[in-house]
Amino acid sequence: MPTNLTAEAAAAYQRYLEARTVEDKIKALEEFIALAPKHKGTEKLLKQVKKTLTKLKLSVEKRKALSKRTTGTHPAFIIQKEGDAQISLIGVPASGKTTLFNVLTGSKIQIGKKSIFPSVGIFRFSGIYFQLIDFPSIASPNPSSILHGKKIMGLIRNSDLVSIIIDLTQDIQWQLDTLIGALRNSKIIVDRPLPPIKFEKRRKGGLKILGADYIGYSEEDIADILRSLNVSNGLLEIYGPATIEDLTLALDDSTVFKPAIIVFTKSDLVESVILPEDLCTKIPCISFSAKKPESIKTFGNLLKNKLGLIRVWTRKRDIIKERALVLKEGATVRDAAEKIHTDFVKKFRYAIIERKNSKIPKMRVGLNFKLEDDDILSIFIKE
């Protein structure tokens, strides 16, 4: 970026880089164009900014046109992803789900009042912005018998994680069967990991099967199963222990596997609880109490760990940003630079990493350096 920009123009551009919604990006770029000096030194930058602004505005128009074509869809069911991850909250009636939502997002939704539409809020946790969706209560494992059931399940399919709210004062097994059943009947799997199976469809060439031993069947037996599912051509690779059910699920393109957690509410109202066997080995479980502030930290850490997220704090001129860059575990300096701006990769010189409890408190690194949670990152680019 040219160094002869006014402070106001530079601030507007920084707001664009930090904006999380398309609308905020558009507003910031329009302010930048209005504030930026018009001369030869900024000509190339302004041209690029105007091109970016046009693309953003076209994306908004496209989204509006799509919404208009979604006949009969209530606006409450058109939820754009915001923040760093989107979390679905589901529970049976009176499970404590909305109380949890209010505590985490600062909302004031009336408790006990039946809602037929989802509520959306942001849970800010240690530099991470989780977008929470509080869905209407689910009282049946059959989505077709749930009001707006298809729309609810469609939004859950699009979310990053499902938080299953279980009231310890109600029948636990019934709640689990109802909620996990409704998800499974919508082809959303939360109680088992993604099968170690890959399948590549092909137009011809028959079936090629690798790793049949992992599933305990012969290649011919598996080929017969595939043909019974009207699959005649393709490459099937099984790279870990699996079952026939795993195979069936993996071959169904409409089935999705979602990470999930179980949150137990109202633990202060029961003396003892007997949980279904192996429940918390399949899905991580925690207790949550609105009366205990530490519950918020426990919930946030579980979301962060289950989604495999790390926080990287960016430093600029001795100031560390309050909002972290949120990346997946295993991310590199390149991933962080691309998330800030593509120019940071093109003009990259080097980066400085400050890491707690490291033998070297400040490390000069390149684009392929692997980042860790709570790193402080400074990127230096060519002018």
The residue ranges of every structural domain in the chain are: 7-69, 75-190+258-307, 197-251, 310-381
pTM, full prediction: 0.78
Sign of CA dihedral 39, 44, 45, 51: positive
How confident is the model at residue 227, as a pLDDT? 85
Q: How confident is the model at residue 361 (pLDDT cuts 50, 70, 90)?
A: confident
How far is 52 from 13, CA to CA, in rounded Å? 12
How far is 315 from 317, CA to CA, in rounded Å? 7
CATH superfamily of 310-381: Beta-grasp domain (3.10.20.30)
Q: Which region, left, alpha or beta, applies to residue 266 given φ > 0 means left and ψ of -120 to 50 means alpha? A: left
How far is 168 from 270, CA to CA, in rounded Å? 7
How confident is the model at residue 1, as a pLDDT? 54
How confident is the model at residue 182, as a pLDDT? 96
Sign of CA dihedral 240, 243, 244, 245: negative
How confident is the model at residue 66, as a pLDDT? 59
Strand arrangement of the beta sheet that strand 207-210 belongs to: 197-201, 234-238, 207-210
**Which tens digit of pLDDT belongs to each residue from 75-130?**
888 898 999 999 999 999 999 999 999 999 999 998 877 888 999 999 999 999 99
Tell me the average pLDDT across 9-13.
Answer: 87
> Distance between alpha carbon 161 and the CA centroid of its chain, in Å?
6
User: How many CB atoms are located within 10 Å of the residue 136 CB?
Assistant: 20
Cβ 137 vs Cβ 182: under 8 Å: no
How confident is the model at residue 337, as a pLDDT? 94
Please choose, from the candidates 92, 98, 176, the residue with its C-alpha nearest in 3D space to the C-alpha of residue 138.
92
Q: How confident is the model at residue 47 (pLDDT cuts 50, 70, 90)?
A: confident
How confident is the model at residue 67, as a pLDDT? 55
How confident is the model at residue 313, as a pLDDT? 95
Tell me the average pLDDT across 341-349.
Answer: 90
How far is 316 from 379, CA to CA, in rounded Å? 8
CATH class, 75-190+258-307 region:
alpha beta
